[in-house]
Amino acid sequence: MTTMTTTVTVTATVLAAGPSGVDHGVIASWVGMPLEQWLVNPEGYTILAACGPHEKAWELKIEEGELKAGGGGLKAGGGERETLREDRRGALTYFLVQALSALRKRGVQLTNQSLYEYVRIQFHASWPQQTPMRYGNENLTFFGNLGIAPRAAFTPVQKESDGRLFLNAGEVHGVHRGDMYAVYPFDTPEDDTRYKSAESVMVKVKTVHCLTSNLVQVEETASATSAVERIITGWKAGPVTRLSPGKTCVRITARASPHLQLEEDVGQQGFLRLCTEDEDTEPCIFHVTLNELDEFEILDTSQKRIVSLPAIPLNTPGASDRVMGILHHVATFKFFEGVENRTPNISFESMFSFFDANGDEASLLVDIRHEETWKFRVVNRGD
């Protein structure tokens, strides 16, 4: 038997990277925000990086103006040109210029988050070992304008050489077998009025994996087959129907309903399902009401106010958006709270052990407070 021990340190917050030798406290006071948000959550700019801090940035081999697919088309470091017809370019530069050129031709501006998702899926289609990173304000556009974040969540689609389609989301993202998606070209505008009227291709989820899902055409017709064949890597999918049972149901009372902009588009709802008082088809674990002070309150199943959630005055600018934001946050938390291993393997679990820093066997439930560090040791007891 071979025993291997690995020590891992987990910190309950992400600390921002910054220049060495600089007083971070001074920097934080200059920008007027907490240190952990100085780089990770800035409002005024976006950073696109070719890879994460523990990866290598690779170059693409370009032959006669086209990308040579596969691992042989990439090389770490600078590299040299091998022939007059061959060139090497940084992967981030190549895909970013490709995307911006397509947007320029259409006269379309997308947010930096949408641009990043396109670049990321192109990376993974050519070289899965490298993942580009985005930091900062995701709603800016590349040339500095403040974009409007799409209300519907789009997910990149990848197409394999054999024609199979994959959605870049799976079980952990709430995808369920039978979910329907409308797939659009990458350069389709994302504001509500324009993308809904754009031409799309309908597909449905056939198989759900942990992080990806297989997509197939909805109808077995020649026209549907032709439409699906037009989809290429980098197109984006917006949800049309979602069958996931993991949604959190929230009931909106009759008094609060007229003052809230309820999201009817399934693509906007995410892990949230909204019901009115007229709909008694299923129990709801949260309720939204308007109290005697004209404040939005969120109640639990026993109709008692949840004191950890703020009451939002009706006359506050953006009150409806704030309430919906809280509901989305709570629904997302409840979804991930319920994620579990549905196919546990006892023999596999017996091959390793967890210990905390004191040498005691780690508990299944660990309470880590903000900025608190927890260390644990993993012992591999397998052969």
- Over residues 126-130, the mean pLDDT reads 84
How far is residue 373 CA from its own chain's centroid? 26
pLDDT class of 14 with cuts at 50, 70, 90: very low
Return the pLDDT at 68: 54
Of 25-39, 120-134, 145-159, 329-343, which range is least confident? 25-39
Residue-level pLDDT at 84: 39
Higher pLDDT, 74 or 39: 39
> What is the pLDDT, as a whole number, of residue 167?
94
**What's domain 155-241's architecture?**
Beta Barrel (2.40)
Round the average pLDDT of the chain to a whole number and report it. 76
Tell me what the mean pLDDT of segment 249-264 comes to: 82
Which two three-digit tokens encode residue 312?
Answer: 């939002």
Q: CA torsion angle for 14, 15, 19, 22 (degrees, to 10)? A: 170
Nearest to 78 by CA among 49, 56, 53: 56
Domain regions of the chain by residue span: 42-136, 155-241, 248-337
E strands present in 160-212: 165-167, 180-184, 201-208
Alpha-carbon span 45 to 138, nearest angstrom: 9
355 pLDDT more than 70: yes
Lowest mean pLDDT across 61-65, 102-106, 290-294: 61-65
* In contact, 261 and 324? CB cutoff 8 Å: yes
Query: Regarding beta strands 286-290 and 248-252, do their DSSP bridges make them parallel or antiparallel, or are they unpaired?
Result: parallel
Candidates 185, 187, 194, 168; CA nearest to 231 is: 185
Task: Find out whether 272 and 331 touch, Cβ atoms under 8 Å.
Answer: yes
Say whether pLDDT at 5 is over 80. no
157 sits in which H/E element: strand 155-159
For residue 134, pLDDT beyond 70: yes
As a whole number of angstroms, the distance between CA 186 and CA 372 comes to 41
Read off the pTM.
Answer: 0.62
Q: Which residues sit opposite 77 in a β-bridge?
A: none
Q: Which residues are bridge partners to 251 per DSSP? A: 275, 287
- d(CA 114, CA 108) in angstroms, rounded, equals 12
Return the structure tokens found at 171.
Answer: 């079980």
230-244 pLDDT, tens digit per residue, is 999 999 998 887 776
| 267 Cβ contact list (under 8 Å, min separation 6) | 151, 152, 153, 238, 239, 240
DSSP string over 92-127: HHHHHHHHHHHHHHHT----HHHHHHHHHHHHHHH-
